[in-house]
A and B are shown apart, each in its own frame.
Chain A
Amino acid sequence: MRSPQLRRLQTASFSQWKESIARSDYRRLCITVSGYEARARHWAESSVGVLPGAPATEWLVAGFTDFDGKLSRQENDRFYKSMGVGTVSCSSRQKESFLESVKEAVRLAIERAGSSSIEVHVDYSCMPRLWYCRLPGLLEQALRIEDRVFFWYSRGDYLNVKYRTAGTSDFEVFAGKPSLSPRFRTHLLGLGFDRIRSLSIWSVLDPQQLVCFYPDAMGDEDYAAKMASEYADIFARASFTCRLPMQFFDSAYSQLRDLIRDFGTLGDVVLVPDGPKPLVLASSLATLTLKTPGAVCFHVSRRRTREFTPVDVRATGSVLGFSFRGAGGEGTRDDPPLPREPRGYTI
Chain B
Amino acid sequence: MTPEAARLRGYEGLNPFSESQARNYSDEKIVSEFFPISLYWSLFNDQHEVLLGTRGSGKTVILRMLSYSCLRRFSHPTAEDLKHKKRFIGFYIPLHLEFLASLEGRDVPDEKRLEYFQFAVNCSAAASLLHELKALLHDQFPSTDTRLGAEKRVISYLERAWFPEASEKAAQLDDLERFTNAVYRREPFWSDGDAHTAVGLSGRLLLPIVDVLPTLSSMLELDTDATRWLCCLDEAEFLTDPFICCINEFMRSEKRPVTLKVATLPFKYQTRETLTRGVSVEPGGNDFNFRLVDLPSRYKEFSQLTDHILATRLCRIDESFANTTLEAFLGRVGRDRPIDYFAGSATDAESEAENRLKAILKSLSAQRRSHYQMIKDDSELVESSYLRRYSPVYYVRRMKELDSQANRKVGWFAGARTARRVADGNPRRFIQIAHDLVEVARKDRLTATRQHEIISKFARRQLEIAAGLPDFGRLLKEILESVGKMLADRIHGRVMLDGGCGFSVDSDVLDSPMFRDALILGLAYSYLFCDDRSMHDGISCSTEFRVAYLSAVKHWITMRKGDPPKLMAGRQLELPDTQRSALEMPVSTEASTSLLRQLDLFLEEDQGA
Contacts and interface: CB of A to CB of B under 8 A. Distances in A.
Interface of A: 162, 164-173, 176-185, 195-200, 202-209, 233, 237, 239, 267-268, 270, 293, 296, 298, 303, 305-307, 335-338, 340, 342-347
Nearest to A172: B101
Given A208-B19, A338-B186, A340-B197, A167 B585 contact: yes
A173 to B, nearest CB: 4
B310 interface: no
Interface in B1-39: 18-19, 21-25
Interface residues of B, number: 59
A180 B124 contact: yes
B167 interface: yes
Nearest to A182: B24
A172 B106 contact: yes
Contacts of A239: 18
B127 A180 contact: yes
Contacts of B178: 345-347
Contacts of B21: 206-208
Contacts of B23: 185, 206, 208
B127 A346 contact: no
Contacts of A180: 99, 123-124, 127-128, 180-181, 184
Interface in B422-457: none
A174 B186 CA distance: 17
Contact of A203 (B98, B177, B181, B469): B469
A195 B464 CA distance: 11
B586 A166 contact: yes
A204 B470 contact: yes
Nearest to B167: A344
Contacts of A340: 197
B369 to A, nearest CB: 47
Given A165-B471, A165-B474, A196-B473, A179 B181 contact: yes
A200 B127 contact: no
B116 interface: no
A338 B23 CA distance: 31
Nearest to A177: B102
Contact of B102 (A176, A204, A205): A176
Interface in B100-128: 101-102, 106, 123-124, 127-128
B473 to A, nearest CB: 5
By Cβ-Cβ distance, the 3 closest A-B pairs, closest first, are A199-B468, A344-B168, A305-B584
Secondary structure of the A side of the interface? loop
A179 B465 CA distance: 30
A217 to B, nearest CB: 24
B548 interface: no
A233 B96 CA distance: 24
Contacts of B163: 345
Nearest to B104: A177
B152 interface: no
Nearest to B55: A206
B590 interface: yes
Contact of A165 (B186, B198, B586): B586
A342 B187 contact: no
22 contacts: A164-B587, A172-B101, A173-B101, A173-B102, A180-B127, A184-B24, A185-B98, A196-B467, A205-B97, A206-B55, A208-B21, A208-B24, A239-B18, A298-B101, A305-B584, A337-B188, A338-B183, A340-B197, A342-B167, A343-B166, A345-B186, A347-B185
B386 interface: no
B584 A306 contact: yes
A335 B186 contact: yes
A337 B186 contact: yes
A203 B465 CA distance: 9
Contact of B166 (A164, A296, A344): A344
A202 B468 contact: yes
A188 B180 CA distance: 26
Contacts of B238: 168
B232 to A, nearest CB: 12
Contacts of B469: 165, 200, 203
B135 interface: no
A198 B589 CA distance: 16
A58 B182 CA distance: 46
Contact of B468 (A168, A178, A200): A200
Interface string B559-591: 000000000000000000000000011111111
Contact of A208 (B25, B106, B177, B197): B25
A274 to B, nearest CB: 12
Contacts of A206: 21, 23, 55
A198 B465 CA distance: 10
B185 A307 contact: no
Contacts of A293: 181, 185
Nearest to B183: A345
B584 A307 contact: yes
A162 B589 CA distance: 10
B584 A168 contact: no
Interface in B154-202: 163, 165-168, 177-188, 197-198
B322 to A, nearest CB: 25
Given A165-B469, A196-B468, A178 B102 contact: yes
Given A206-B21, A336-B186, A178 B465 contact: no
Nearest to B240: A169
A46 to B, nearest CB: 34
Contacts of A342: 165-167
B24 A209 contact: yes
B181 A171 contact: no
Contacts of A307: 584, 588, 590-591
